[in-house]
Amino acid sequence: MSTVDGKTVRVALLGCGTVGTEVARLLTEHADELAARAGAPVELAGIAVRRPDKHPELPQHLLTHDAAALVESDVDVVVELIGGVDPVREWLLTALRKGKSVVTANKALLAEHSAELFEAADSAGADLYFEAAVAGAIPLLRPLRESLAGDRITKVMGIVNGTTNFILSAMDSTGAGYAETLDEASRLGYAEADPTADVDGYDAASKAAILASLAFHTRVTASDVHREGIANVSASDIAAAKALGRTVKLLSICERVASADGTESVSARVHPVMIPRSHPLASVGGAFNAVFVEADAAGQLMFYGQGAGGAPTASAVLGDLVAVARNRVIGGRGPRESAHAALPVRPMGQTPTRYHVSLDVADKPGVLAQVAHVFADHEVSIAAVRQRDRNDTASLVIVTHLAPDAALQATVEAIGTMDVVNEVVSVMRVEGEDS
């Protein structure tokens, strides 16, 4: 049953931080098991690190600082865990053009240059796998690329950034503001020294681009993704959400949107969202990620697991490594880029969303009528209103039906200028409830 008769698969490892160290360890410790699964020994042929002298824990004869030379050497698979676009992009293009398979966790690179990378892979018949680039250990990309290949995916929505999820969960439980909570997250090691990529949504936007591309067979890059981070989420927003049995999460949302004339487009966006506390995503805390997928035939699916960390990410890398090694052994290859649908990407302003708007208004008759009039002027339909008196002011909470995001934005702007409106307390998009 267990045939390990294939030619040894030689692996170059680029980068050896938290994830790379785990990959190197598992490759060595589980060598027999991996060989049985791949059908050939899988051997670490070299490890490129910036400063070889800083890695006394690694086999010294494998270390090099020359990643370019390692890629050009006699290796079959390149595992890239350095991250960032340059100079990694050139190395991986070189590897693919020479027919070497590539396994990478590099979301930033894939979110901008996947077309070029896939073309290089296709022309040389090489594999490009990247399960670890989105949602760490969770097997998510393979199901999207393969299991659902016969279905029609309509929506992918989830929590794919652990730092922002930690901060929002903490704000929800303590009632503290954003800046204070970010400081605490940094102190505890949940936020990087420069947290921009996480808190401004760049990381989640790269992942949304990768997810939308796979789900809708369309090339979507990070620059196509509408991006809002969590820096503007205030303690008032969190309190307003709580008062309504909701919580705030930063979600990556990829949707197939049909126009009135039946033509389809893709919406990909990252922004804070209010969801009901009963929603399965509401209870996802800490470093965990969770992603919902909706498809015509399959219905609703959820995937849950650890989104980051050395060992979980290494698990995803090794799964890919076994797959590309096995493909080499049997002379096949994995799924290629699937971009045949080539749907247009819909601008955020034209994307249908729902808003929650919380207002502090004058407590006198006719205010609701005036405010409702502004919504109507912008052709935004109201789903629910809640009004509460507070001394001589009143709070007015409005949740809309679906409307183009631009119309909702314009409505909120107009309301902010009304005499009877003292303050726009909170504005946030809503997901996960019937409209």
Residues belonging to the active site: 207
Closer Cβ to a copy of itself, 139 or 347, answer by number:
139
For residues 143 to 182, the per-residue mask of contacts with a copy of itself, x marking binding by CB under 8 A and - elsewhere, is x--xxxxxxx------------------------------
Tell me the one-letter amino acid at 111. A
Query: Does the protein bind a copy of itself through residue 301 (CB under 8 A)?
Result: yes
Whole-number Cα distances in Å, 98 to 71, 77, 123, 235, 325: 10, 11, 10, 53, 16
d(CA 391, CA 265): 48
Closer Cβ to a copy of itself, 296 or 379, answer by number:
296
Q: Report 310-369 residues binding a copy of itself (CB under 8 A).
A: 311-312, 314-323, 326-327, 330-333, 335-342
Number of residues that bind a copy of itself (CB under 8 A): 64
Place of tokens 């595992």: 79
Show the DSSP H helices in 217-305 as ranges: 235-243
Dihedral sign of CA atoms 43, 47, 53, 54 in order: negative
Any idea of the CA torsion for 234, 351, 286, 160, to the nearest 10 degrees? -140
Closer Cβ to a copy of itself, 113 or 354, answer by number:
113
Of 185-193, 232-240, 267-275, 301-309: span binding a copy of itself (CB under 8 A): 301-309
From 10, 13, 15, 22, residue interacting with a copy of itself (rule: CB under 8 A): 22
Q: Counting every residue, how long is the chain?
A: 435
Q: How far is the CB of 294 from a copy of itself (least distance, A)?
A: 10
Q: Report 380-419 residues binding a copy of itself (CB under 8 A).
A: none
d(CA 293, CA 248): 20
Q: Report 118-137 residues binding a copy of itself (CB under 8 A).
A: 131, 137
Closer Cβ to a copy of itself, 313 or 351, answer by number:
313
d(CA 173, CA 153): 34
Place of tokens 């086999």: 59
d(CA 40, CA 34): 8
Of 46-54, 202-210, 222-230, 290-298: span binding a copy of itself (CB under 8 A): 290-298
Please report the DSSP string for 154-168 in residue order: EEEEEE--HHHHHHH
Closer Cβ to a copy of itself, 238 or 275, answer by number:
275
Query: Does the protein bind a copy of itself through residue 298 (CB under 8 A)?
Result: yes
Of 31-39, 176-184, 229-237, 240-248: span binding a copy of itself (CB under 8 A): 31-39
* Cross-strand bridge partners of residue 394: 361, 389
Q: How far is the CB of 369 from a copy of itself (least distance, A)?
A: 42
Output Rg (C-alpha) for the chain, integer angstroms. 24
Query: Does the protein bind a copy of itself through residue 77 (CB under 8 A)?
Result: no
Whether 27 contacts 34, CB under 8 Å:
yes
Query: Which residues sit at the interface with a copy of itself, rule CB under 8 A?
Result: 1-2, 22, 26, 30, 33-34, 36-37, 39, 131, 137-139, 142-143, 146-152, 217, 280, 295-306, 309, 311-312, 314-323, 326-327, 330-333, 335-342
